[in-house]
Amino acid sequence: MSEQLEKKDSNLSTLRDNVNQLESRFEKLREDVISKLNECSDCIKSAKQLCQEATETTTILENKLTNASNEEKEWKDIKIKLATTSIQGKVILDVGGEKYTTSVEVLTREKDTFFTALFSKQWQLERDPDDKNILMGTLFPNETLLKFEHKKKLNDFYGKTNQQWELIYKATRDGFDANTFHSHCNDKGPTITIIQSNNNYLFGGYTAIPWTSDNSYKSDTTAFLFTLINPHNIPPAKYLIDTSKTVYTVNHTSGYGPTFGGGHDIHLAHANDANNSSYTNFPYTYLDTTGKGNNTFTGARNFTTSDIEVFKLA
């Protein structure tokens, strides 16, 4: 009887061990299954993300392709028009007011020239809004203040119709403080300064004398001031230097922005977008030919700027 009980206990113990082993194996199997399911879930998420990125990339490429197609069509239209003009008779080039007759074939005969670049779409075109003529390059690139007619007028004031300029300082991009102006504009040769007041009037000045920070006046018989947009509806006008006061043409004080004339005819203060310290005392060194005196540029003596652009000769 005792032996039978011992045998039963042994069998129960063996059975218990087997059950424990099965339970351990089942638990491990369950963990493995959960791990694999998590891996599958991660793979599905990655696949969805890749699909989304592929869709976005496809959309971007389709938009670029559409833009490229539109540009291609525009250039083909331009070439067809120019070629048709040539076939029907002539192509007319307006060079500084002088008109010359030629053909597309002649213009593109020499390789690696502006005209071969023009017909191979390697040149940005600017058009006259009045007669739609194609202009060779831009006169004042990378700016935002000047309309096309203002660009032409400033070059008329300067005395060279096709003069090109390079933007070296833009206050809304670089900063309105005097130090920033001088760091961008000193020793850059002749410059033209365009000022926009906070009421959107446009005016400025030209000087052939490079800007410096030596706190002195400079003499320049070629300097002039101008108005493009003003409160009096005066057409764009140029104001020459008083020949008896040329020693005060421009002021190179390090703590000032662009400053023209003694007095000063146009003075831009430090941080001129944040205060009303900039002013005009016109006419003092420059001649008033439109009769509005100190109210010429903005309608008042003091003003605040919203932007300034300075260009040097390109």
**Looking at residue 131, which CATH number applies to its domain?**
3.30.710.10
Q: Which of 49, 77, 105 is the last residue in one of the domains?
A: 77
Per mean pLDDT, which range of 45-59, 102-116, 238-252 is the poorest?
102-116
Instruction: Look at residue 143 and tell me if it is in a domain.
Output: no
Q: Within this chain, do residues 31 and 176 fall inside the same structural domain, yes or no?
A: no
Question: 172 and 131, same structural domain?
Answer: no
Please check whether residue 246 lies inside any domain of the structure.
yes
Are 177 and 185 contacting, i.e. CB atoms less than 8 angstroms apart?
Answer: no
Report pLDDT digits (tens) over 146-185.
Answer: 988 899 999 999 999 889 999 999 999 999 999 999 999 9
- Asked if residue 123 and residue 221 are part of one domain, the reply reads no
Mean pLDDT computed over 109-128: 56
Query: Are 260 and 299 in the same domain?
Result: yes
Helix (H, G, I), strand (E, B) or coil at 26: helix
pLDDT at 137 over 60: no
Same domain assignment for residues 2 and 118:
no
Q: How do beta strands 305-313 and 191-197 pair?
A: antiparallel
**Is the pLDDT score of 13 beyond 90?**
no
Tokens of 297: 């540029």
Is 0.75 surpassed by the pTM of this model? Answer: no
The model's pLDDT over 63-112, given as tens digits with 9 standing for 90+, comes to 788 777 777 776 666 665 555 554 444 666 655 556 667 776 776 676 65
* pLDDT for 87: 45
Give the confidence band of 48 by pLDDT, cuts at 50, 70, 90: confident
211 and 275 housed in the same domain = yes
- pLDDT score at 81: 58
Both 241 and 155 in one domain: the answer is: yes
Could you tell me if 218 and 305 lie in one domain? yes
The verdict on 108 and 230 lying in the same domain is: no
Q: What is the mean pLDDT of residues 232-259?
A: 97
pLDDT given for residue 19 in this prediction: 74
Rounded Cα–Cα distance for residues 106 and 102 (Å): 7
pLDDT, position 136? 44
Q: Do 166 and 245 belong together in one domain?
A: yes
- What is the rounded distance in angstroms from the CA atom of residue 145 to the CA atom of residue 170? 10
Q: How many domains does the chain have?
A: 3
Distances (CA, A) of 224 to 49, 191, 256, 291: 62, 11, 19, 17
Check residues 134 and 296 and name the one with the higher pLDDT.
296
Q: Which tens digits make up the pLDDT trace of 289-311?
A: 999 999 999 999 999 999 999 99
Residue 159 falls within a domain, yes or no?
yes
Q: Which residues contact 275 (CB under 8 A, 6 or more apart)?
A: 269, 304
Sort strands 237-240 and 224-229 into parallel, antiparallel or unpaired. Answer: antiparallel
- Report residue 192's pLDDT band, with 50, 70 and 90 as the boundaries: very high
Instruction: Say if 86 falls within a structural domain.
Output: no
> Is residue 140 in some structural domain?
no
Please indicate, yes or no, if residue 152 is contained in any of the structural domains: yes
Same domain, 190 and 278: yes
User: Do 192 and 235 fall into the same domain?
Assistant: yes
Which pair of tokens denotes residue 50?
Answer: 């890749």
Tell me whether residue 83 is in a domain.
Answer: no
Provide CB contacts within 8 A for 118, sequence distance 6+. Answer: 125, 136
Q: Is the pLDDT assigned to residue 114 strictly greater than 90?
A: no
Quick check: is 141 in a domain? no
Q: What domain range includes position 103?
A: 91-135
Higher per-residue confidence, 138 vs 52: 52
Average pLDDT over residues 202-224: 98
pLDDT higher for 240 or 137? 240
Q: Work out the mean pLDDT of the chain and round it to a whole number.
A: 84
